[in-house]
Amino acid sequence: MEQENIQTSATAKLPILKQGEYEMWRLRIEQHFQIQDYALWDVIENGNSFKPVGQTVKGSSTPHIPGPVTADEKIQKNNDVKARSMLLMALPNEHLMTFKQYKDAKSLFDAITTRFGGNDATRKTQKTLPERQRCQESF
The reported pTM is 0.65
Strand partners of residue 65: 55
Task: Please check whether residue 105 is in contact with residue 43, taking contact to mean a CB–CB distance below 8 angstroms.
Answer: yes
Tell me, what's the pLDDT at 118? 73
**Considering the chain, what percentage of its residues have pLDDT values greater than 90?**
42
- What is the spatial distance between Cα 47 and Cα 40, in angstroms, rounded to a whole number? 10
Is the predicted pLDDT of residue 27 greater than 80, yes or no?
yes
pLDDT band at 93 (very low <50, low <70, confident <90, very high): very high
Task: Report in angstroms the alpha-carbon separations of 129 from 98, 124, 137.
Answer: 25, 9, 12
The string of DSSP codes covering 11-54 is: HHPPPPP-TT-HHHHHHHHHHHHHHH-HHHHHHHHH-------E
Q: What average pLDDT score do residues 99-112 get? A: 95
Tens of pLDDT, residue by residue over 49-74, are 656 555 555 665 555 556 677 888 88
Q: DSSP 3-state assignment of 55?
A: strand
pLDDT at position 68: 72
